Chain A
């Protein structure tokens, strides 16, 4: 991707990450781009928007798009419950600073991740599209994945669902 990435998100370096559950897997996002974790309030449906970003939420008076990484990562979707949270991230879109929300089935902890503990995405055996995953790592007995947020969002910019009506 040509989009400049936050150094912490590039994977190989040591970084502080927040881990969360998505589709029964563990996902890690650098805390450097994390603004806050909020409980889901009212979500406004955006008609005819692509499945990745179907909603809008109000975060302290700002209108923020709510996205679901389970769609690009091809993970199973389950309805929100008491553990559901929204991570509010600073993520440049089209090179312009922006704020986006991502759904999390559960948020676990903030943890130090050593760059050396990270691996390339295996070329076989992974369920998710490789282009959307930056690295995989291990935390105790469990694996976690670091999604390539820049790649995921870049692919969904200016996207309208082609199968649905749009003026």
Chain B
């Protein structure tokens, strides 16, 4: 059940190192940003504090000096310099390695470098006593905080002139017994470090408002309360709100439960519809509304912004700048775009690989760029945006573009295509996503793990999305992925084909038209339909699904889209739309590409879900085969 304290610490520590890394990278661009400096300091401080608490003495010891260094930065006595940021990043890596149980050895060298960097710039404490005022979170008593113990601890540090702040004390009638209304202010001896004082609050920093300044120092005008939660990473206005960390499995469990609820609700609705009792109908409607609300909320809990993985990309590009001797900028657009957490996790590796690829193969060095009249800095642009029930993620670079002749030659050499294959440009570009295309030769130190671009295609397929490659010689390459927003529950269009029911993801449905009579009869004739002036190929689903049942008298065509492509699916009857809980097919059936999963209908029977991108690809492929 509950993760052990150490596990929780490790999870927290990982988040902190990520936040720290992001903060340092941002700091490089905005060295003067005080909010950033605070955030980096807080991350270091919390990491060190909780590290010590959970017995990671090595980590705490190592981070101590870095914390001190950034404290001096915070006090304005040391300026943010590129070497300091670089060193910070390496320290961050070392901290991660320590958390993973790595050897403490490399730490000493880093600390030596740090000392060399800050030596001479560290003035001694100003020698004036500290003025401290603080206020704990009002609900901290419920959570087990003991202000008395805190005050005792402060007394041991030498606190003097302790007095309560009673401004917020309400009228007696309004007083809630377990709420804390009182703050305290006091004086502390001058020889204490700021860190030592803050350390006292390490268990109570949730919702803590703390004001600490040397006496007589320029009055800090921030009223207590201004200082937000303990971890307020750079640029994260939205993150100041109260957060709660939940193990991912519980979210999956919750999603399963909601799935069952949706199915039970559909069953109830069917029974009630047959029964016709208006009271029952009303209750059933209400439950339907609640279930659909539950579904929305649960899905929104699972939605994670892309920015949770972009930190890694920034870091990668930062490192690549050094390793490749090129100047590369990473521009990320639409970082707030949210996707199901599973999708995000699966995307991280392919995107890392694509960025590496762009930097390694796509972008030219500064000299060649200038010679071509391009800016010296190569740009890799990662953008994410919603488009219908999908998210489009595009990775574009302004490099040299794909060399089609070389790709072709390489594909022939690797035996992927015959020498005389007749491929158009799009088909040649798509070759780079083929398994076995990028092998040994392109696996440099950067391309690292030996994964090729085919991992991109594989991941996208797994997520039931699509990917296309676009490129213009001399101007760059663009890879665009389209992914479904969620994997768990979709709105489905239920149809009947040969007496059997199938579900089509509603988001992919463009429109529904009658199948013209002459085409309904003639199964060998034209396989195109005129849909609003456009010829759309269509698939006779009865044939494709080997249906034996009777066709309906009035066949319909459901026009579905994947990316820019469309295909019509002939069905006998449209039953209606419903919430569809997607269940994966077992390995016994996963080779059947026609279906992306199955779902349980209101009457308890199972319906297969048609895989639209696969059907569209199939329809288009057959179309071009016949055209040839």
Contact = CB atoms under 8 A, between A and B. Distances in A.
A159 B546 contact: no
10 contacts: A41-B605, A46-B592, A47-B547, A47-B592, A47-B594, A47-B608, A58-B604, A94-B587, A158-B588, A160-B592
Given A49-B589, A65-B589, A167 B260 contact: no
B591 interface: yes
B495 interface: no
A47 B588 CA distance: 13
Contacts of A158: 587-588, 590-591
Which size class do A's interface residues fall under?
20 to 34
Interface in B525-577: 544-547
A37 B544 CA distance: 34
A49 B607 CA distance: 15
Interface string B570-607: 00000000000001011111111111001110011111
Given A46-B608, A63-B583, A167 B500 contact: no
B546 A65 contact: no
B32 to A, nearest CB: 53
B383 interface: no
B560 to A, nearest CB: 14
Given A93-B587, A160-B591, A167-B593, A42 B600 contact: no
Given A41-B604, A47-B594, A167-B614, A62 B583 contact: yes
A56 interface: yes
Interface in A128-167: 153, 156-160, 164-167
A13 interface: no
Contact of A166 (B260, B263, B591, B603): B591
A53 B585 CA distance: 12
Given A167-B614, A167-B618, A44 B592 contact: no
Interface of A: 41-42, 44-49, 52-53, 56-58, 61-65, 67, 93-94, 96, 98, 100, 153, 156-160, 164-167
Nearest to B543: A165
B588 A67 contact: yes
Contacts of A93: 586-588
B587 A49 contact: no
A58 B600 contact: yes
A117 to B, nearest CB: 32
Nearest to A55: B606
Range class of the B interface residue count = 20 to 34
Interface of B: 259-260, 263, 500, 544-547, 583, 585-595, 598-600, 603-608, 611, 614-615, 617-618
Contacts of A98: 586-587
A67 B586 CA distance: 12
B592 A49 contact: yes
B608 A44 contact: yes
Contacts of A62: 583
B586 A42 contact: no
Nearest to B607: A44
Nearest to A93: B587
A160 B546 CA distance: 14
B605 A58 contact: yes
Contacts of A53: 588-589
B590 to A, nearest CB: 6
Nearest to A62: B583
B594 A167 contact: yes
Contacts of B588: 49, 52-53, 65, 67, 93, 100, 153, 156-159
A44 B605 CA distance: 7
Contacts of B603: 42
B370 to A, nearest CB: 49
A49 to B, nearest CB: 6
Given A62-B583, A63-B583, A165-B544, A48 B606 contact: no
Question: Which one of B546, B583, B587, B603 has the greatest number of beta carbons of chain A within 10 Å?
Answer: B587
Nearest to A158: B591
A53 B587 CA distance: 11
A154 B202 CA distance: 55
A64 B586 CA distance: 8
Given A93-B587, A159-B588, A167-B594, A57 B606 contact: yes
A67 B587 CA distance: 13
Chain B CB count within 10 A is highest, among A44, A47, A48, for: A47
Nearest to B263: A61
B600 A61 contact: yes
Nearest to A95: B587
Nearest to B593: A167
A46 B260 CA distance: 23
A48 B546 contact: yes
Contacts of B605: 41-42, 44, 58
Contact of B500 (A44, A52, A64): A44
Given A49-B589, A61-B600, A164 B607 contact: no
Contacts of B615: 167
B594 A63 contact: no
A47 B546 contact: yes
Nearest to A46: B589
Nearest to B615: A167
Nearest to A154: B587
Contacts of B618: 167
Contacts of B598: 44, 56, 63
Nearest to A50: B588
A60 B363 CA distance: 55
